[in-house]
């Protein structure tokens, strides 16, 4: 696990509030025993019709190939706790999500995987989406130290949950090691509560 | 100092504050299933770790299990593999596995309570967002992702942020024909799909007090649909009576001791809350969804909204939802033709749900053009229903009576909508594509409303159809 301070790359704007995890990855793609192959299933039903023909979704536009920054709207990732959703986002090549707000379990899953979820106002998201439309090749920089997104000549402020931000900067977003460090204390609590 | 249940349970299970600013919390009960857990065992293996507290973890299969033919190997190779990986991992790690035909298999949130594994004052987690169901017993019950399943397997703890608590009071007496499902759909409609972000919901008031445990589970189950991280109800006599005599609950003097302990977790009368919201029972009518989120709901006597009533992005949400559902602005929801009727899921797949419907459909017939299926939530529900002859009542009325599982709630098994079929469903999510067809349409409602729709062939008012 290494620190995540800054992510730079092309952006892509997927519009809409309340985009749920069933849309991010339809349930039939949850059939797997590892997460390795999930990338192509991202937003599958939005991107392809029943016969597998492209619906010309923005993620498939030539200009957006290789994008690393996903920009979207409010309550992103609501619904199921399936980690398949952030896994698919990551395996697809997206490294950071900018939205108006996030559903909580989704936010937690992203953080553990090292995908920062940063919050930007609607006004600025509209401007940022405009910047991306104008020049899809432009590099965005999401800077978690200064909490800013830089694009072309604009600077947009962003916020994020402080504990998540600290975790990214200090490379502790995957909590497993720290959870394993206190097994004696955990045992004491288990005994106290009668959980053998 | 007066405390609410969330604070008490949190403090009891708190290990420490982590350097990241999050908190390490002990998990009293961990439930796992075949869709989100097998990958976690792989992660453990990669790191050379073992399951720390195998006796605090229980496994079952529910999401992908077929409900018509469960003969092994399953026809779907990948489904078979997922079940095998889970069952082998359970074996290797000494985790109890409620396999099909064990008599205890079922939807994870039906199984925990009916065995008495779910007990007041516990922290409970499962790689499934409807873990909130267990909150009905006075638990902090959390849906988690697979990496967190890994964390709990390895350490029996989770890293998490504390939550605010919103008290939701529902006072008065429910109207005839109004069920627990209508109550929670009404609450979500009013507070929105993201109204609960950052909160645990504590449900209370006279309506909740007089509900059975099965009804309380229906309410808590859908907390997540309102954006809350979890939902709970304070344990009381109804809770203790439900647990008395259950397989995994202590008996005799030990039971009395347990009750004393459980009782102590209930919120103090003068406990403080971060927010309080009040609902009047008399305002709640049979409620159904018209759109593609659970908050896009109206009562059966209302018309669907029009984009004209909203502004900005909300306008688009309504326009898109109406288009997807193939509904016109301002049209009544009553009368909307359905193709499929589904009664089941962790929201409404318990014995009382089937009893309530059976009492109404006996001697009646499902409409010709409707495919109707009833899927018990667990093998125990199935068995009890069969003993009472409910399966026959359903079959005579034209329902198929299936084997237990999640089934058409998320359609990872062969039970799916075809094309743009409309399903009257007792499940909890009406998201686009949720029931297995990318263009399938879901209308959420209570089991008796599903029954009314099944008989009429269109969305109907159960109060009229059954002359309640
Ligand atoms: S019944 Fe539906 S909501 Fe409940 S656990 Fe199964 S898939 Fe999830």
Predicted confidence at residue B69, as pLDDT, reads 87
Average pLDDT of the segment spanning B71-86: 91
* C-alpha to C-alpha distance for B246 and B231, rounded to whole angstroms: 23
Residue B20 has pLDDT above 90, yes or no: no
Q: Least CA distance to B317: which residue of chain A?
A: A17
Predicted confidence at residue B182, as pLDDT, reads 98
Query: Is any atom of ligand 1 closer than 6 Å to the C-beta of B346?
Result: yes
Which tens digits make up the pLDDT trace of B34-53?
999 989 999 999 999 999 99
What is the 8-class DSSP label of residue B175?
A: P
Interface of B with A in 87-146 (CB under 8 A): 127-129, 131, 143-146
Q: Least CA distance to B316: which residue of chain A?
A: A16
Q: Confidence class of residue B438 from pLDDT cuts 50, 70 and 90?
A: very high
Q: Least CA distance to B314: which residue of chain A?
A: A17
Predicted confidence at residue B71, as pLDDT, reads 87
**Residues of chain A found within 8 Å of residue B35, distances taken between Cβ atoms:** 30-31, 82
**Residues of chain B found within 8 Å of residue A108, distances taken between Cβ atoms:** 144-145, 148, 160
Residue B312 has pLDDT above 80, yes or no: no
Predicted confidence at residue B125, as pLDDT, reads 97
Query: Is any atom of ligand 1 closer than 6 Å to the C-beta of B411?
Result: no
Is A185 close to B16, i.e. CB distance below 8 A?
Answer: yes
Using alpha carbons, select from A16, A8, A37, A3 the residue that is nearest to residue A148: A8
Query: Is any atom of ligand 1 closer than 6 Å to the C-beta of B107?
Result: yes
Average pLDDT of the segment spanning B98-122: 97
* C-alpha to C-alpha distance for B219 and B243, rounded to whole angstroms: 18
Average pLDDT of the segment spanning B439-459: 98
Predicted confidence at residue B235, as pLDDT, reads 98
Residues counted in chain A? 196
Chain A contact present for B239, CB below 8 A: no
Instruction: Decide if A96 contacts B135 (C-beta within 8 A).
Output: no
Q: Least CA distance to B437: which residue of chain A?
A: A50
Burial class (CB in 10 A: 0-12, 13-18, 19+), B264: middle
Instruction: Decide if B106 contacts B380 (C-beta within 8 A).
Output: yes
Interface of B with A in 213-232 (CB under 8 A): 224, 227, 229
**Residues of chain B found within 8 Å of residue A103, distances taken between Cβ atoms:** 194, 197, 227
Tens digit of pLDDT per residue, chain A (196 long)? 899 999 999 999 999 999 999 999 998 898 888 899 999 999 999 999 989 999 999 999 999 999 999 999 999 999 888 999 999 999 999 999 999 999 988 999 999 999 999 999 999 999 999 999 999 999 999 999 999 999 988 999 999 998 899 999 999 999 999 999 999 999 999 999 998 7
Please give, one letter per residue, the 3-state secondary structure of B338-363: CCEEEECHHHHCCHHHHHHHHHHHCC
Which tens digits make up the pLDDT trace of B114-163?
999 999 999 999 999 999 999 999 999 999 999 999 999 999 999 999 99
Predicted confidence at residue A33, as pLDDT, reads 86
Average pLDDT of the segment spanning B303-308: 95
Q: Which atom, in ligand 1's list, is nearest to the CA of A80?
A: 8
Which of B48, B61, B63, B155 to probe the A interface (max A CBs under 10 A)? B155
Chain A contact present for B48, CB below 8 A: no
Nearest Cα residue to atom 4 of ligand 1? B346
Residue B339, both tokens: 């193709």
What is B376-438 written as a DSSP string? -SBHHHHHHHHHTTHHHHHHHHTEEE--SS-GGGT--SS----TT-EEEESSS---TTTTSST
Of B63, B198, B433, the CB nearest to A45: B433
* C-alpha to C-alpha distance for A107 and A105, rounded to whole angstroms: 5
Predicted confidence at residue B15, as pLDDT, reads 97
Query: Is any atom of ligand 1 closer than 6 Å to the C-beta of B378?
Result: no
* C-alpha to C-alpha distance for B160 and A167, rounded to whole angstroms: 12
Instruction: Name which of A171-180, B116-125, B270-279, B453-462 the model is least confident about.
Output: A171-180
pTM of the model: 0.94
Instruction: Decide if B80 contacts B65 (C-beta within 8 A).
Output: no
| Antiparallel, parallel or unpaired: β B230-233 and B123-126 | unpaired
Of A79, A113, A189, the CB nearest to B431: A79
Which of A53, A75, A78 to probe the B interface (max B CBs under 10 A)? A78
Which tens digits make up the pLDDT trace of B195-240?
999 999 999 999 999 999 999 999 999 999 999 999 999 999 999 9
Q: Please tell me the distance in Å from A140's CA to the nearest CA on chain B.
A: 25
* C-alpha to C-alpha distance for B350 and B336, rounded to whole angstroms: 27
| Antiparallel, parallel or unpaired: β B340-343 and B422-425 | parallel
- Of the CA atoms within 13 Å of residue B177, those in its CB half-sphere come to 21
């Amino acid at each position: 696990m290494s620190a995540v301070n800054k992510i730079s790359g092309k952006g892509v704007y997927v519009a809409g509030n309340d985009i749920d995890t069933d849309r991010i990855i339809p349930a039939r793609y949850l059939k797997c025993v590892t997460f390795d192959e999930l990338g192509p299933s991202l937003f599958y039903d939005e991107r392809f019709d029943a016969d597998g023909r492209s619906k010309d979704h923005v993620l498939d536009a030539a200009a957006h190939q290789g994008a690393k920054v996903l920009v979207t709207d409010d309550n992103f990732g609501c619904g199921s706790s399936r980690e398949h959703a952030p896994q698919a986002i990551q395996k697809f090549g997206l490294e950071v999500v900018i939205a108006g707000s996030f559903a909580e379990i989704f936010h937690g899953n992203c953080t553990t995987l090292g995908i920062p979820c940063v919050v930007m106002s609607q006004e600025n998201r509209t401007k940022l989406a405009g910047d991306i439309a104008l020049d899809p090749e432009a590099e965005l920089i999401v800077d978690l130290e200064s909490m800013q997104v830089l694009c072309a000549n604009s600077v947009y402020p962003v916020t994020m949950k402080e504990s998540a931000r600290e975790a990214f900067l200090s490379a502790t977003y995957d909590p497993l090691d720290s959870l394993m460090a206190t097994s004696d204390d955990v045992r004491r609590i288990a005994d106290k509560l009668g959980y053998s | 100092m007066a405390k609410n249940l969330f604070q008490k349970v949190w403090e009891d299970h708190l290990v420490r504050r982590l350097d990241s600013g999050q908190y390490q919390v002990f998990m009293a009960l961990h439930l796992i299933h075949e869709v989100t857990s097998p990958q976690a065992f792989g992660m453990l293996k990669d790191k050379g770790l073992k399951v720390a507290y195998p006796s605090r973890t229980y496994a079952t299969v529910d999401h992908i299990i077929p409900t018509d033919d469960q003969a092994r190997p399953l026809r779907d190779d990948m489904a078979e593999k997922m079940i095998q990986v889970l069952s082998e991992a359970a074996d290797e790690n000494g985790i109890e596995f409620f396999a099909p035909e064990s008599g205890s298999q079922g939807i994870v949130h039906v199984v925990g309570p009916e065995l008495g594994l779910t007990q007041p004052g516990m922290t409970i987690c499962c790689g499934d967002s409807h873990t909130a169901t267990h909150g009905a017993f006075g638990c902090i019950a959390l849906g988690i992702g697979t990496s967190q399943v890994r964390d709990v397997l390895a350490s029996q703890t989770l890293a998490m942020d504390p939550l605010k608590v919103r008290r939701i009071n529902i006072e008065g007496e429910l109207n005839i024909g109004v069920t627990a499902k209508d109550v929670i759909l009404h609450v979500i409609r009013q507070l929105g799909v993201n109204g609960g972000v950052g909160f645990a919901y504590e449900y209370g008031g006279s309506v909740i007090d007089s509900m059975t445990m099965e009804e309380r589970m229906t309410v808590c189950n859908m907390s997540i649909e309102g954006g809350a991280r979890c939902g709970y109800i304070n344990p009381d006599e109804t809770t203790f009576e439900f647990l008395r005599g259950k397989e995994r609950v202590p008996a005799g003097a030990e039971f009395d001791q347990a009750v004393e302990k459980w009782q102590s977790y209930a919120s103090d009368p003068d406990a403080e809350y971060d927010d309080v919201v009040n609902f009047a029972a008399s305002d709640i009518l049979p409620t159904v969804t018209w759109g593609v989120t659970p908050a896009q709901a109206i009562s059966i006597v209302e018309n669907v909204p029009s984009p004209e009533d909203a502004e900005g992005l909300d306008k688009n949400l309504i326009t898109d939802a109406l288009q997807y559902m193939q509904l016109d602005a301002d049209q009544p929801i009553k009368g909307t033709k359905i193709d499929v009727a589904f009664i089941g899921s962790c929201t409404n797949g318990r014995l009382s749900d089937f009893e309530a419907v059976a009492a109404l459909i006996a001697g009646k017939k499902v409409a010709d053009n409707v495919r109707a299926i009833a899927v018990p939530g667990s093998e125990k529900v199935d068995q009890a229903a069969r003993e009472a002859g409910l399966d026959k009542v359903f079959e005579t009325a034209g329902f198929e009576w299936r084997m237990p599982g999640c089934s058409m709630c998320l359609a990872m098994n062969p039970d799916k909508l075809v094309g743009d079929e409309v399903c009257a469903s007792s499940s909890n999510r009406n998201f686009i594509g949720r029931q297995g067809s990318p263009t399938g349409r879901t209308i959420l409602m209570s089991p008796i409303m599903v029954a009314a729709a099944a008989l009429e062939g269109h969305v109907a008012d159960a109060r009229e159809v059954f002359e309640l």
